[in-house]
Structure 1
Amino acid sequence: MQNENVPADAAPDRDWRIIGLIGTGHFLSHFYMLCLAPLFPIWREEFGVSYAVLGLSVALMSAVTALLQTPVGFLVDRHGARPYLLGGTLIMALSISAMALAPSYWVILGLAVLSGIGNSVIHPADYAILGSSIGEKRMGRAFAMHTFTGNLGFAAAPLVLGMMVQTLGIGWRPTLLALGLLGLPVVAAIMLQSRILKDQARPKKSGAPVGRQVLFSRTMLMFFAFFLLSSMAGVGVQSFLIATLDRLWGTPLAIASLALTGYVVGATSGVLIGGWYADRYSRHFTFVTGLTALSIVLFLAMGLLPLPDVVLPVVALVAGAALGASRTPRDVMVKNAAPPGEIGKVFGFISSGLPLGGAITPVPFGLMLDNGMPWLVLPTVALLLLASLFCAGTARGEALRQARAASPSPLPAE
């Protein structure tokens, strides 16, 4: 589906400015979501609450974000993405800063909910702006950088908090105040550069489905399932790979940790490869299928074969890179399937499958290990990925069918 607002050869300098603005906000979004957990030991002593209660801050922030993404997507499509992006980023920044003044942990919980409200804006607004502002020749790289900057935010938060609080000895209150206020220049930059951020064109009246009809169409439900199952598989690997390798093969902690690091590095850097591919080739589903199949084989190898210690991190790195590279073409497939003017709600709904997958996965995978079934963990990851491919294929086929029905000219099949 061609972007009607932006010509295919739009100026690259303008595109990269947009990608930089949106990516910086996405970095902050992910950074703020992980900047509370490193403070749990300090808060436990200062506020006298349990770790279970402390975990509520992260759980509430994530849950509110996931629940509100779809309603916010409707608002973004109706009123435009820019004001919501500005407001959401500002709310996140001020909420984190205000935690520095909190007299009790219960105030921090309330501010975590407020930060989650601000964070719920990011995905629907970001994708609506990128899909409407970036030239088609750079759309894949734009989506790749969006994912990459978010992953960097996750990676940076524990390091920055640890350095400021533990190494430099800065108190947690000045640390949160400073980190929260970092969002204000980002808000100012987005505001000053907002003229280059385009909103979606309003959809023309037609018989095409709109609103809730779009979200509950077979195409979008299958894409939602694709994101959900992919997230469940990824969280299973990130949370339980070390324990699984230890229980299965007695892998030393250092080697198992290196394997997990390899997986995370591969998954993070792989999205950039996927963005490069998505901008140069059109067979996105074929690419996603091939790489996901490769990762399935590699996860099965780690779970069923006693691989040498020197090989294990390399296999995990390649598996992570394959999955990471498949993510950007996946996002472009969703964008192309979204009806004009509906990108905000589509990505708000579909991307809510990511935190939902993270919420569903830990307990059943933990039960496998607790009940002496570590051999089941990685094959389950492989099965989830295989099921996600089925959902992606169904969504892709339905989207092509709808596009052919709406267009008199033949469309290429993958």
Structure 2
Amino acid sequence: MADILAAPQQAKTDEQLRTLVAISTAHWVSHFHMLVLPMLFPFLKEQLGVGYIELGFALTVFAVTSGLTQAPIGYLADHIGARKILLMGLTLGGLALIMLGLHLSYPWLIASAVLLGLANSVYHPANYAILSAHMNEARMGRAFSIHTFAGYVGGAVAPATVAALVATTGGHGALLVTSAVGPLVALFLLVVGIPDASAADRQVAGTDAPRQNVITPALIVLTVFFMLLSLSNAGIGNFGVVALMSGYGVTFPAANIALTAFLGASAIGVLAGGFLADHTTRHGQVAAACFAVNAAIVFLIATVSLPLLLLTAAMASAGFLGGVIAPSRDMLVRNAAPAGAAGRAFGIVSTGFNIGGIISPLLFGWIMDQNLPHWVFGASVVFMVLTVLLALATEQGPQERSAASDARMMHP
């Protein structure tokens, strides 16, 4: 009898594991594809006969397209199904790269950037909608953390992978090979049979919640929260090496070691944050506490010339704490999302990342042009302090959390 009762539960657990692996693999593709074009800049510059300003404009086009389409894609994910949207995004990303590989020119580069931006806008709304609907509530934070960690890994392996492909197959070959990744993963998702998540499914089942306005004050605040997170990390991630070299007398290898420690510890922090998110309901307070300590550490880096060992340790600590808050960040959005609107909610707030991605290169580039390398870290501290305040503002009260939990139990 016990075996009979345990069988359905084991089958459900296995299905959740397959779903988590599949969705996390899709997120890996997202971060991998984001870095393919930047890693090919030397090849593209030579082949297209353009400067880095023209190449940088392609990345701006990517960021703007992704930012403008995140929220509409979230609405589509909730309306026609997150699974369909995700499969289309994976395929479209591959199409964008193979198109550039076959028709290498600057206009096609811009067109490819547009399609890559559109494909990138799919992942957060669709992935989080599926995870929110089908993961075990008690392990939701860990599911979010594994999903985020997979994205970090995709970004981490992209430079070496693209470099190896260029060395063995050339730039054209690298574009064609990397283009195959998206469609292959889409096929993998079809074979695995990932579940769907859409408002239409709940309406057919007769369990759809009354239509609610998704653009709530809480989600607006969380969108700003995501933007500040992007700004606080982008300065260190993109300009940390040149800032350490020009303002602190750190050598290029040492600065890269410090940045590697920051990025590597961020990935480890994400996994640790998943366990923490599953054992607390105070996600806003967790985020605020981690970023408050983070701000203090980065302030120390900004104001004191630390020995290399201490600098690396400080960078690693800052990266770890920045990673820890990622699952709590995602739980804040999930808690604020109306029932049946996870795709729209994550689509809206993820726009904040894109806004930060548009602003940060201009802001921190201007800071470096003004010969103020310490302010790369100093400005990051300012954004971190603002993030702490907003994290506390997004904390739900006990009654609100209880109501949100009840809604998810009624509309899983």
- TM-score, normalised on structure 1? 0.88
Q: CA 1:289–1:82 in 2, change beyond 3 Å: closer, same or farther?
A: same
Q: CA 1:361–1:406 in 2, change beyond 3 Å: closer, same or farther?
A: closer
Partner of 2:88: 87
Contact 1:233 1:385 in 2 (8 A): yes
Q: CA 1:254–1:205 in 2, change beyond 3 Å: closer, same or farther?
A: closer
Q: CA 1:118–1:15 in 2, change beyond 3 Å: closer, same or farther?
A: same
User: Structure 1 residue 17 and structure 2 residue 13: aligned?
Assistant: no
Q: C-alpha displacement at 1:298, in angstroms?
A: 0.5
Q: What SS is found at the alignment partner of 1:307?
A: coil
- The one-letter code matched in structure 2 to 1:135 is N
- Find the aligned partners of 1:154 and 1:249 in 2 and give their Cα distance: 28
- Find the aligned partners of 1:395 and 1:83 in 2 and give their Cα distance: 31
User: Structure 1 residue 41 and structure 2 residue 37: aligned?
Assistant: no
- Find the aligned partners of 2:294 and 2:10 in 1 and give their Cα distance: 35
- The one-letter code matched in structure 2 to 1:276 is F
Partner of 1:388: 387
Report Cα offsets for 1:4-61 as digits up to 9, x if no partner.
Answer: xxx9998432222111111111111211111012222222222222222222332222
- Find the aligned partners of 1:189 and 1:278 in 2 and give their Cα distance: 29
Q: What SS is found at the alignment partner of 1:361?
A: helix
- Find the aligned partners of 2:51 and 2:366 in 1 and give their Cα distance: 23
- The one-letter code matched in structure 2 to 1:149 is A
- Find the aligned partners of 1:316 and 1:221 in 2 and give their Cα distance: 31
Contact 1:10 1:135 in 2 (8 A): no
Q: What SS is found at the alignment partner of 1:282?
A: coil
Q: What SS is found at the alignment partner of 2:36?
A: coil
- The one-letter code matched in structure 2 to 1:363 is L
Question: 1:10-409 to 2 correspondence within 5 Å?
Answer: 11-166=12-167, 168=168, 170-194=169-193, 196-199=195-198, 201-202=202-203, 204-206=208-210, 210=212, 213-215=213-215, 217-397=216-396, 402=400
Structure 2 alignment gaps of length 5 or more:
1-7, 408-412
Which moves more between the two structures, 186-195 or 343-352?
Answer: 186-195
- The one-letter code matched in structure 1 to 2:164 is M
Q: CA 1:66–1:44 in 2, change beyond 3 Å: closer, same or farther?
A: same
Contact 2:287 2:391 in 1 (8 A): no
Structure 1 alignment gaps of length 5 or more:
1-6, 410-414
Identity over the aligned pairs, expressed in percent?
A: 32
- The one-letter code matched in structure 1 to 2:59 is V
Q: CA 1:253–1:172 in 2, change beyond 3 Å: closer, same or farther?
A: closer
Q: C-alpha displacement at 1:100, in angstroms?
A: 1.8
Contact 2:79 2:198 in 1 (8 A): no
Contact 2:58 2:113 in 1 (8 A): yes
Superposition CA RMSD, Å: 2.5
- TM-score, normalised on structure 2? 0.89
Contact 1:133 1:199 in 2 (8 A): no
- The one-letter code matched in structure 2 to 1:55 is G
Q: CA 1:391–1:323 in 2, change beyond 3 Å: closer, same or farther?
A: same
Contact 1:82 1:194 in 2 (8 A): no
- Find the aligned partners of 2:27 and 2:159 in 1 and give their Cα distance: 17
Q: CA 1:251–1:135 in 2, change beyond 3 Å: closer, same or farther?
A: same
- The one-letter code matched in structure 1 to 2:102 is L
Report Cα offsets for 1:77-121 as digits up to 9, x if no partner.
Answer: 122211111111111112212222115331232133123222221
Partner of 2:3: none
- Find the aligned partners of 1:240 and 1:327 in 2 and give their Cα distance: 22
In the alignment of these two chains, the number of paired residues is 395
- Find the aligned partners of 1:338 and 1:362 in 2 and give their Cα distance: 31
Q: CA 1:191–1:244 in 2, change beyond 3 Å: closer, same or farther?
A: same
Contact 1:274 1:325 in 2 (8 A): yes
Which moves more between the two structures, 178-187 or 155-164?
Answer: 178-187
